[in-house]
Structure 1
Amino acid sequence: MKEKILTEAESLFWKYGVKSITMDDIARQLGISKKTIYQHFADKEAIVYQVVKDKLERDEKEYQCHFRGAGNPVEEILKVSELLRQHAVTVNPSMMLDVQRHYPKAWQVFLKHKEDYILMSIRDNLQRGVREGFYRPDIDIDVMARLRIESVQLGFDERVFPGARANVMAVQEQLLHHFIRGLLTEKGFSVYNQYNLNTI
């Protein structure tokens, strides 16, 4: 039952945002009483915490598979961004803003994941790209890694991009291609252009 509660809660959170979903909504969706939910979770914050933690762990495994399947750093970053786009289809942009504003424990889990995994993965990609001649040797790895991770988050922020729910994939794609084109050497552009031709 605990897993069913988490699965249903996650589905509702991603679709409608966290703040608007109540314990009553989760119970109603599952056809159970709130009392049953409270047998497994102390409160809504405990559910949000576990949903975020589980989602990030699943994402990490999925991204690792995409990293392993890429032949070079340019393809790697584009493949991961494709996965991000697939996820964005089912995401309500307000979810992570809700978590940030109202669920500090869950937000700390996200921040730790962001620093320990996402940022490290971007740094690794940039270092490999420079080493193999796909990215410019004069880029500042730390600055560019931070820029990329913050631009992804920015793309989901409706305060910055009004109507982001309808256009989130288009916004993310613009941010990605602006970012990556600034990194590339001639060798990198050759791979980048070939990749784009093959995906049109």
Structure 2
Amino acid sequence: MDDIARDLGISKRTIYQHYSDKEAILALVIQEEIKAQKCDMERLDSEASNPIEQMIFASIQMREMMANMSPTFLYDLKKYYPAAWELFQNYKHEFIIKNIRDNLTTGIELGLYRPDIDVEILSLLRIEQVVMGFDPTIFTPRKFDLMQIQMQFVHHFLRGILTEKGFEYYNTIKDKSAIEINTHEK
């Protein structure tokens, strides 16, 4: 709160005249970030030529989003800010999981993903992989790079659901996506 007050050139008391507590400010920031993420995801979905590309694009977007994010952000959010955590949970269940489910269904229809996968189970698995990558009790920030974790997860996930047709396409873009990812890092 001291940093916010200093950056805005106002007192903490003035901040608290407009917001009840830190969590109210955090909730507002999260709501704005969710709006921006939804717009970005919708744009990427429209640019992707198929579900495999869509999954890769989403991972690249996630990498850009996480570039300045603390690896412990979601863990701290859950532990210390329950109302703000609930906003994230609602977004996760109402938007992200639906997006993954739609991706899987379309991939099956196009013959890119195996028809025997359980869309409901794998939708939940995929989102929980993303969340698990933020857990510092599993992946300590000193030892693991957050985006390396996420990219390993998405590539592992995709390889498990691809058909031969999907795998052929995946092999044509996986190296290109790695180049784009490395370019964004520089």
Q: Which TM-score applies when normalising by structure 2?
A: 0.91
For 2:117, the aligned partner's letter is I
* CA pair 100-181 structure 1, distance change in 2 beyond 3 A: same
Stretches of structure 1 lacking an aligned partner (at least 5 in a row): 1-22
Greater RCO, 1 or 2 (C-alpha within 8 Å, sep 6+)? 2
SS in structure 1 at match of 2:56: helix
| Mean CA deviation greater in 31-40 or 110-119 | 31-40
Looking at structure 2, the residues matched to 170 and 192 of structure 1 have their Cα atoms a distance apart, in angstroms, of 18
TM-score calculated relative to the size of structure 1? 0.85
The 1-side partners of 2:136 and 2:142 are apart by 5
Tell me: CA distance 1:148–1:164, structure 2 relative to 1, closer, same or farther (3 Å): farther
Quick check: 32-41 or 130-139, which moved more? 32-41
2:98 to 107, 120, 134: 120
* Equivalent position to 1:177, from 130, 155, 159: 155
Provide the residue aligned with 1:80 in structure 2: 58
Distance in 2, matches of 1:178 and 1:37, equals: 45
Q: CA RMSD in A?
A: 1.4
CA contact (8 A) 1:93 1:165 kept: no
Question: Which amino acid is the alignment partner of residue 128 of structure 1?
Answer: T
Q: Could you say which residue in structure 2 is the equivalent of 1:104?
A: 82
Call closer, same or farther: CA 1:165–1:115 in 2, change over 3 Å.
farther
Structure 2 CA distance, aligned partners of 1:150 and 1:106?
Answer: 18
1:16-58 Cα shifts (integer Å, max 9, x gaps): xxxxxxx222112322211221222111111011111111111
Whether the aligned pair in 2 keeps the contact of 1:73 and 1:125 (CA below 8 Å) is yes
How much has 1:165 moved relative to structure 2? 8.2
After superposing on structure 2, the runs of 4+ consecutive aligned residues of structure 1 that deviate more than 6 Å are none
Give the Cα–Cα distance (whole angstroms) in 1 for the partners of residues 169 and 155 of structure 2: 13
Structure 2 unaligned spans of 5+: 180-186
How many residues align? The count is 178
8 Å Cα contact 1:156/1:164 also seen in 2: no
Aligned to 1:131: 109
Report percent identity of matched pairs.
Answer: 43
Aligned to 2:28: 50
**Is 2:175 aligned against 1:197?**
yes
User: How far apart, CA to CA, are the structure 1 residues paired with 2:174 and 2:119?
Assistant: 24
Give the match for residue 147 of structure 1.
Answer: 125
